[in-house]
């Protein structure tokens, strides 16, 4: 599994291709910009720029900065204090190096690079780990997990992987149904962790209830998310929602041994599962399935809580009357024992695949003169939920709104209301992407009907958002200078007869106001990163042009874009080495059914003499 020889993937032809692609770098763009006025006092001021000689390239005021976790920090802020790349010079950004690992399968290339010191760690869609020199892209070592996963496509396992996490000299990868622990310098398996650095953490939990289960993958359980690590404990959730899994599991794992500390089932199955008294009565009819976890948990050490977004229910909806807790919910658990502290359900009795797919982002803000410890998460239902993370209560009104209950499906009992977020002033919040179909081809409308959101499923319907969302797994970023939340989302109505659009938006969480919005071609399925230089970076998942964009974090103005040559379905990272700021993103993938890619790109400002 371990290959120690060094290989350089940047061959002449790839660099020649990059020089041609450089022609696609542009400070101007053809995406649609929408700016919304705001009177908020939290928008902040200008970012203070470092004074440097005009003859030299500026350096970051941050000398060195790592990106150790999937979403940078425990809060999932995706905010970098680096400031070498600014609104004034981002148009000069150019590729520094690239890397290709050669594994092209899975649905898309979704890894977020993790950088510690001068080493970058990336993964392929199977979860194999590649360590690279972060300054030039040289391959240092590889750990191949392909033959260790315990199942593949024949067992229904769909390859996708979003990266690793780092703590105390160890790199952790959640691949297949296992956690792998590797020495960060050598790539050797961590001694004492599971069996040769591989721990069957899902199977251990499943066999507590059913010792006859031989593999976790065979019964529909595996990982998609990158793990979270804090204070010697790995926190991770199991996928998937689209199968008859008996609830998803939040796992707390000893980072030294791979042994389970506690677990929480998102859909309690019986009296032995915590939360049964709350969730049990909300499933009537026999079905009690789904609730997988697609993204990384967030952790607040001060409050002693871990926060998880839970996926949709699964199975015959006529056999699961009720709200179906804790599916489509945000849940807060205690770090020490996994006790349920609070929950908030975003979709009741889901039949539209409106998961809660991305990591909750944690931040502090002031509302009406009061300090609020907040949490925000955008659902595939296209609504942004802003909660008090201490209590789970909405910061601004979230109103249970009557929806259609008319259905021709025998035995179906639609839920009569859904929770719709409103702004501080009481008006309905602007959704992160349309909740009613737009731009439907006229010929397509002749044979189909436009219906309101949350209408029970029926024939020949066109509704928004479609099954892809809304906000999918793309993590939100929070600008500590602007005070804004940056959210990427998809606009592709179900049965729309048209290609997707990406909606990238900035919101003021203190008021719930939409500040600005960019609309581009392709899927808005990748997360963003915002910097102290006043820039927010995000990619577009497109079959024709996978652009990587830089926008003004304050105004939304497009400042730069780069055609990566394939869809960007991965969230970027930023790091700094010796005052040089780097921006990195993975590229590869397109519409469902198309194979993924294997490209890792790193950008920096050009050298100056």
Whether the per-residue pLDDT at 49 is higher than 60: the answer is no
The lowest-confidence range among 33-37, 314-318, 589-593 is 33-37
Q: Quote the pLDDT of residue 594.
A: 55
323 Cβ contact list (under 8 Å, min separation 6): 282, 345, 348, 349, 415
Per-residue confidence at 56, pLDDT binned at 50, 70, 90?
A: low
What's the residue count for the chain?
Answer: 609
Q: Quote the pLDDT of residue 194.
A: 98
Whether the per-residue pLDDT at 17 is higher than 80: the answer is no
| Cβ 425 vs Cβ 367: under 8 Å | no
Strands 79-80 and 528-531: parallel
| Cβ 21 vs Cβ 565: under 8 Å | yes
Q: Quote the pLDDT of residue 272.
A: 95
Q: How many CB atoms lie within 10 A of CB 339?
A: 14
Whether the per-residue pLDDT at 455 is higher than 70: the answer is yes
Q: Quote the pLDDT of residue 242.
A: 64
- Side-chain-side CA neighbours of 139 within 13 Å: the count stands at 20
Q: Quote the pLDDT of residue 285.
A: 96
Q: Quote the pLDDT of residue 158.
A: 64
Per-residue confidence at 609, pLDDT binned at 50, 70, 90?
A: low
Quote the percentage of the chain above a pLDDT of 90.
Answer: 79
Whether the per-residue pLDDT at 15 is higher than 70: the answer is no
197 Cβ contact list (under 8 Å, min separation 6): 180, 181, 182, 188, 189, 190, 191
Whether the per-residue pLDDT at 189 is higher than 60: the answer is yes
Q: Quote the pLDDT of residue 13.
A: 38
Per-residue confidence at 151, pLDDT binned at 50, 70, 90?
A: low
Q: Quote the pLDDT of residue 147.
A: 86
Place of tokens 């050797």: 188
The lowest-confidence range among 1-5, 516-520, 543-547, 587-591 is 1-5
Q: Residue 263 to residues 225, 266, 285, 381, 606: CA-CA distances in angstroms?
A: 16, 10, 26, 28, 49
What b/e string do you get for 200-233 counting C-beta neighbours within 10 Å, with b at 16 or more? Answer: bbbbbbbeeeeeeeebbbebbbbbbbbbbbbeeb
What pLDDT, in 10s, does the model give residues 248-286?
A: 999 999 999 999 999 999 999 999 999 999 999 999 999
Whether the per-residue pLDDT at 503 is higher than 90: the answer is yes
Q: 319 phi and psi, to 5 degrees?
A: -115, 25
Whether the per-residue pLDDT at 30 is higher than 50: the answer is no
How confident is the prediction for the chain on average, in pLDDT? 89
Whether the per-residue pLDDT at 555 is higher than 80: the answer is yes
Per-residue confidence at 220, pLDDT binned at 50, 70, 90?
A: confident
* Exposed / middle / buried, residue 483 (Cβ in 10 Å: 0-12, 13-18, 19+): buried
Q: 443 phi and psi, to 5 degrees?
A: -65, -35
Q: Quote the pLDDT of residue 155.
A: 54
Whether the per-residue pLDDT at 22 is higher than 50: the answer is no
- List the 477-478 sheet strands across, edge first: 32-35, 513-521, 501-508, 485-491, 477-478
Over range 75-86, report the average pLDDT: 98
| Cβ 524 vs Cβ 488: under 8 Å | yes
Whether the per-residue pLDDT at 77 is higher than 80: the answer is yes
DSSP states along 216-242: SGGGT-B--SPPEEETTEEEEE-B-SS
Report whether the peptide linkage leading into residue 345 is cis, meaning its omega lies within 30 degrees of zero: no
Q: Quote the pLDDT of residue 54.
A: 37
Over range 392-421, report the average pLDDT: 97
The domain limits of the chain are 2-405+414-604
Per-residue confidence at 366, pLDDT binned at 50, 70, 90?
A: very high
Whether the per-residue pLDDT at 288 is higher than 90: the answer is yes
Per-residue confidence at 197, pLDDT binned at 50, 70, 90?
A: very high
Per-residue confidence at 103, pLDDT binned at 50, 70, 90?
A: confident
| Dist CA 479 CA 481 (whole Å) | 5
| Cβ 552 vs Cβ 568: under 8 Å | no
Over range 526-543, report the average pLDDT: 94
The gap from C-alpha 537 to its chain's centroid, in whole angstroms, comes to 14
Q: Quote the pLDDT of residue 217.
A: 86
What pLDDT, in 10s, does the model give residues 338-354?
A: 999 999 999 999 999 99
pTM, to two decimals: 0.91
| Dist CA 25 CA 227 (whole Å) | 34
| Dist CA 559 CA 556 (whole Å) | 9
| Cβ 158 vs Cβ 107: under 8 Å | yes
Task: Give the pair of three-digit tokens for residue 585.
Answer: 């993103």
Q: Quote the pLDDT of residue 104.
A: 83
The lowest-confidence range among 262-276, 418-432, 474-488, 579-593 is 579-593
| Dist CA 155 CA 64 (whole Å) | 44
Whether the per-residue pLDDT at 216 is higher than 60: the answer is yes
Q: Quote the pLDDT of residue 150.
A: 66
Over range 384-412, report the average pLDDT: 97
CATH of domain 2-405+414-604: 2.140.10.10
Q: Residue 572 to residues 86, 121, 163, 296, 585: CA-CA distances in angstroms?
A: 17, 13, 11, 15, 4
Q: How many CB atoms lie within 10 A of CB 156?
A: 15
459 Cβ contact list (under 8 Å, min separation 6): none
Cα angle 186-188-190, degrees, rounded to a multiple of 5: 120
| Dist CA 282 CA 292 (whole Å) | 17
- Which of 7 and 385 is assigned the larger pLDDT? 385
187 Cβ contact list (under 8 Å, min separation 6): 2, 4, 129, 131, 140, 141, 142, 143
């Amino acid at each position: 599994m371990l290959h120690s020889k060094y290989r350089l993937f940047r061959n002449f032809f790839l660099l020649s291709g990059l020089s041609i692609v450089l022609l696609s770098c542009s400070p101007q763009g053809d995406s649609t910009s929408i700016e919304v006025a705001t009177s908020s006092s939290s928008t902040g001021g200008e970012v203070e720029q470092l004074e440097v000689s005009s003859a030299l390239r500026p350096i970051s005021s941050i000398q060195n900065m790592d990106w150790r976790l999937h979403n940078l920090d425990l809060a999932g802020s995706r905010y970098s204090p680096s400031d070498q790349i600014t609104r004034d010079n981002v148009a000069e950004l150019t590729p520094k190096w690239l890397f290709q690992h050669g594994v092209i399968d899975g649905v898309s290339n979704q890894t977020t690079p993790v950088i510690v010191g001068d080493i970058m760690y990336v993964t392929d869609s199977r979860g194999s780990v590649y360590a690279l020199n972060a300054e030039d892209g040289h391959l240092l070592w590889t750990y191949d997990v392909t033959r260790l996963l315990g199942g593949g496509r024949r067992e229904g396992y769909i390859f996708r992987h979003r990266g690793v996490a780092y703590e105390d000299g160890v790199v952790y990868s959640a691949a297949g149904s296992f956690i792998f622990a590797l020495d960060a310098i050598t790539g050797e398996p961590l001694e004492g962790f599971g069996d040769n650095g591989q721990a069957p953490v899902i199977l251990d939990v499943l066999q507590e209830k059913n010792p006859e289960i031989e593999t976790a993958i065979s019964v529909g359980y595996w990982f998609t998310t990158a793990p979270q690590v804090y204070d010697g404990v790995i926190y991770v959730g199991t996928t998937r929602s689209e199968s008859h899994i008996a609830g998803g599991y939040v796992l707390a794992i000893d980072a030294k041994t791979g042994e389970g500390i506690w677990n929480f089932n998102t859909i309690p199955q019986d009296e032995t599962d915590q939360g049964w008294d709350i969730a049990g009565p909300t499933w009537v009819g026999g079905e009690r399935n789904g609730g997988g976890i697609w993204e990384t948990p967030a952790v607040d050490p001060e409050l002693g809580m871990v926060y998880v977004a839970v996926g949709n229910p699964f199975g015959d909806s006529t056999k699961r009357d009720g709200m179906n807790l804790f599916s489509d919910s945000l849940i807060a658990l205690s770090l020490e024992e996994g006790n349920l502290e609070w929950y908030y359900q975003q979709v009741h009795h889901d039949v539209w695949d409106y998961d809660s797919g991305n990591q909750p982002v944690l931040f502090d803000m002031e509302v009406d003169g009061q300090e609020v410890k907040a949490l925000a998460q955008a659902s595939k239902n296209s609504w942004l939920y802003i909660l008090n993370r201490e209590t789970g209560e909405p910061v601004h009104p979230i109103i249970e709104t009557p929806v259609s209950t008319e259905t021709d499906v025998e035995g179906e009992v639609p839920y009569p209301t859904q929770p719709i977020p409103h702004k501080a002033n009481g008006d309905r919040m602007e959704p992160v992407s349309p909740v009613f179909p737009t731009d439907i081809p006229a010929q397509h409308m002749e044979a189909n009907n436009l219906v309101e959101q949350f209408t029970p499923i029926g024939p020949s319907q066109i509704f928004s958002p479609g099954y892809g969302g809304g906000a999918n797994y793309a993590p939100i970023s929070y600008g500590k200078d602007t005070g804004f939340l940056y959210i990427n989302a998809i606009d592709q109505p179900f049965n729309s007869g048209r290609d997707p659009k990406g909606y990238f938006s900035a919101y003021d969480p203190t008021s719930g106001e939409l500040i600005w919005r960019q609309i581009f071609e392709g899927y808005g399925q990748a997360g963003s990163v915002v910097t102290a230089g006043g820039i927010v970076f995000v990619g577009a998942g497109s079959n024709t042009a996978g652009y990587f964009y830089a926008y003004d974090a304050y105004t939304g103005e497009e400042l730069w874009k780069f055609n990566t040559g394939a869809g960007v379905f991965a969230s970027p990272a930023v790091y700094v080495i010796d005052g040089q700021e780097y921006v990195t993103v993975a590229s590869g993938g397109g519409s469902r059914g198309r194979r993924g890619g294997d490209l890792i790109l790193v950008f920096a400002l050009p050298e100056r003499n």
